[in-house]
Each structure stands twice: as structure tokens, then as C-alpha cells.
Structure 1
Amino acid sequence: MNTVLSAMALDYPPEKLSVYLSDDGGSSPTLRVLERLVLLLEEVLSSGGSVQTWWNEQRIWMIKSVTVYTYGSLDAILKWVGLRKASFVPTNKVAKEGQITLYQKGKFSYQASTVLLAPMVALIILNMVSLVGRVARMFIPGTWKYMFGQVFLTLYNVALNFPVIEGMLLRKDEGRIPFSVSLLSVVFSLAFLYLGSIAL
């Protein structure tokens, strides 16, 4: 939700934006997020995990919430309405040599369907645009107290999804995000920003 609010309100005055997000410029939502993260970190560490395990769990949760849960819910609704019949398509689950190598290096392989990758990449692009806009607006005198919570949450999202950004921009191996997916996601992001600018 932070992505949507940040992206849609990119051109909105920060003193008015704070009224819509919270009465105190976003610090209450920020504290709730921090509390949740600390409690989860404590749980992971007490069960023998590491900080890296906790960080990866955050990444996987974010990826699942954007892709799997969205498409699963959409599929269930379409079946319930009667627009889609249940189907089963077997797929190959055998790992390729390149995927095993990437896994051993601790890197994600983005050799997946465009339908799964495009929404996730589009949201990350929106987060990057929002972060740049928010940081730029923090330098306007008197807006620091309004922008801190928004910048923190957006920075957290960008940092959490750095492997996806790396897969889009930096990696050259076979597990990178295809250029066509990145381009499609940029188009989705621009369309969303345009619609947001019209709505606000």
C-alpha cells in the first residue's frame, strides 16, 4: 500500500499528504512496521536462524504477496463466478544446471513466466521512482517531518528487493530478468503514475 500511496501522491504537497497518511507524518505506521520486523527477527533468531534468513524471509513474503496470492485469489474468484474452469497443466520441475549454479551462489533465478514477473518488477520500479521523489522532496524546507516515514518505508522496500533490481539492471547471466519483462513493467509503472496524477 505504501507503494501505491507514494507513487500516486508524487506531486502532492507534503503538508496535505500527511493528513491522508496519518496525523503525525507517517511515524505511527513506521513504528508499527518496525515493531513487526523486530518481533519477526526475534522469532527467527530464537529458532536458530540468522539475520540473512530473516531478510530472505522478508523477500519471499513480498514476492509471494505480489504474485502468488494475487493470482491465486484472482483464479479463485474467476472459478467462483464461472468464468474459468479448473485445469491442470503439468510443468517440468527438473532444475537446470544454470539454476543449480545460481542457487549455490545465493542468487535468485528469474526464469519464470512474464505474468509472474511483470507485476513484481512494476511495483519495484514504482518504489524506486517513489524513493527518488520522496528523497528529493525531503530537501524542501519544513518537509522532513512529513516525509521521513514515507522515505523509510520506500527505502525498506527498495533495499528488500535489491536482488530484483540487480536482476533487472546488473546481472548478465541466464537467470536475469528478461529485458522484455523490464520494459513491460516500465510501461505498467508509467501508466499507473499517469493514472495517479489524474486522480490526484
Structure 2
Amino acid sequence: MGLLQAGLSKFSPMTYGIKFFNPLQAMCYAHCFFRAFSSIPVIIYAFLPQLTLINSLPIFPKVSDPWFSVYAFLFLGSHGKDFLDHALAGSVFKKCWNSRRMSLILGCSSFPFSIIDWFLTSIGLSTCELNVTSKVLDSELSKRYEKGVFEFGVESPLLLMISVTAMVNLFAFLVGIRKVLIDSEKFEALFVQVFIAGFGVVNSWPVYEGMVLRSDKGKVPTTITLKSICVALVLCLGFSSAF
């Protein structure tokens, strides 16, 4: 939220900063200051294709449609560039993939919360407080960090949002696969949505692992798991009944 406040203040890199930086430098700073707004397309792609998939409502071109190649090019191009950036920096595939997962996690948790908090602060209604947390290093936590294992373990609205996103994608993917298997004619129309839901499931694997397979302190709390399942079911069933 601090970066967002600075970016939207009179000292914004795109207005004040441009007096001292060249345009490319200003854009680099702006990329960091305004990252929170990337949550808008992330949330749209994390929920809209999935919820419409549950209702068999195609919102993307069919596989046979020439416009499908545009979507495929953009997807492969963006992720290919990201992988190349990590490869040139010497990162292994797992670190690259975890970086993509973090984009989804941040886009569905801290980024939208920071926008909401910035707005409430702007109108004088924010109740956000800084809580000092323990900085004592845990040996088990350090081992999990070295292995690239995601750390959850704390109940919070941020983790609930991440878990709900993971469950909505899982439910939609299973429903979409079932619809395609029952009626193969729907494959072309719903392929992109099934793919996006499946991509969400793959990216959310650490969350599912934290919910079911892990027993260490970094797992997803049971209460968060139960709440996320209930909220995801309400979203899916509610959207289904609406159509």
C-alpha cells in the first residue's frame, strides 16, 4: 500500500519523477509502484472463465476460430518471455514456476487488499494497522524455504482469498472436464476456459498440498480449508443459479 500511496501522490514517478529520470527509468519505477493494479486482470482470469465454464457459457473464440491463435500467441509469448528472463538470470525451472505461482497469489491477496486499503485511507476510513511479527528464525521453516516450499500456516483474509481462488478453479476444471467428456461438441467452445481453469489448478498445487498433504506448521489451517470450500461452493452454485 505504501508503494501505491507514493505512486498516486504528487511524487509519482510518471509526473514528478519524469523531471529527474528518463522515460524508461520512470516506467521501471512505475512498474513497481503500480503493481497492485495488476490484480484486476488476475482476479478476472481467476474467476470469470471458471464461473462461466460451470454454466457452459463460452466467452473465448473456438479452437477453429482464427482469433484463437491470438490468445495462444499472447499466452505462450508472455510465459515464454518470463521463463527466458529467469533462465538468463540463472534460475532453475522450479524457481521460475514458483514465480508464476506468486503472481497469482499476490494478484488474489495482498494486491487487491492494498488497493482497498489505499481507497479507505484516502477517504479517512482505513483501519489498517502495522503489527510487529516475530523475526525469530525457525530451523524447520528455513529448511522449507531452502526447498522452495510455500509457507502458509497463519489464518488471515489473505490466505482465505488464495484458498477460495484455488477451490473455484478446481471445481470449475472438474465440471468442465465432465461437460467435455459428456458432450464432445462443447470441446471447441469451452477449450480455453477448461485450459485456464486447469492452469489455475496447476498453479494452485502448493495450496492443495498445504490443505491435504502437509502436516508441518506451514500447512493451510484446517479452518481456512473448510471456509474456502464453503465460499467456493457458494460462488459456484450462486453463479450457476443466476444463469
Does the TM-score normalized on the shorter chain lie above 0.5?
yes
Among 60, 73, 90, the alignment partner of 1:22 is 60
Structure 2 match to 1:36: 78
Structure 2: gaps (5+ residues): 1-43
**Alpha-carbon distance, 1:133 to partner:** 0.8
Contact 1:66/1:119 (8 A) holds in 2: yes
Structure 1 match to 2:161: 119
- For 1:59-138, list aligned pairs within 5 A: 59-84=101-126, 87-138=129-180
Between structure 1 and structure 2, the one with the greater Rg is 2
Structure 1: gaps (5+ residues): none
- The reply on whether 1:149 has 2:187 as its aligned counterpart is no
The C-alpha deviation readout for 1:172-198, integer Å capped at 9, x for no partner, is: 122111110001111211221132123
Structure 2 match to 1:175: 218
**Alpha-carbon distance, 1:45 to partner:** 1.3
Within 2, Cα distance between the matches of 1:8 and 1:38? 27
Within 2, Cα distance between the matches of 1:157 and 1:23? 19
Identity of aligned residues (%): 22
| Relative contact order, higher structure (CA 8 A, sep 6+) | 1
- The reply on whether 1:163 has 2:206 as its aligned counterpart is yes
- The reply on whether 1:196 has 2:233 as its aligned counterpart is no
The answer to which of 183-192 and 43-52 deviates more is 43-52
Within 1, Cα distance between the matches of 2:242 and 2:124? 33
**Alpha-carbon distance, 1:135 to partner:** 0.9
What is the RMSD computed on CA atoms of the aligned residues?
2.0
Contact 2:62/2:191 (8 A) holds in 1: no
Structure 1 match to 2:16: none
The answer to which of 64-73 and 147-156 deviates more is 147-156
Within 2, Cα distance between the matches of 1:177 and 1:87? 24
Within 2, Cα distance between the matches of 1:84 and 1:162? 34
The answer to which of 107-116 and 132-141 deviates more is 107-116
Within 1, Cα distance between the matches of 2:118 and 2:95? 31
Contact 1:30/1:149 (8 A) holds in 2: no
The answer to which of 103-112 and 37-46 deviates more is 103-112
State the one-letter code of the partner of 1:160.
N
**Structure 1 residues 85 and 3, CA, compared in 2 at 3 Å: closer, same or farther?**
closer
**Alpha-carbon distance, 1:77 to partner:** 0.9
Within 1, Cα distance between the matches of 2:220 and 2:227? 12
Within 2, Cα distance between the matches of 1:74 and 1:49? 34
Instruction: Count how many residue pairs are aligned between Structure 1 and Structure 2.
Output: 195
**Alpha-carbon distance, 1:120 to partner:** 0.2
TM-score, length basis structure 1: 0.87
Within 1, Cα distance between the matches of 2:104 and 2:53? 23
The C-alpha deviation readout for 1:57-97, integer Å capped at 9, x for no partner, is: 10111111111101111111111121125643322222223
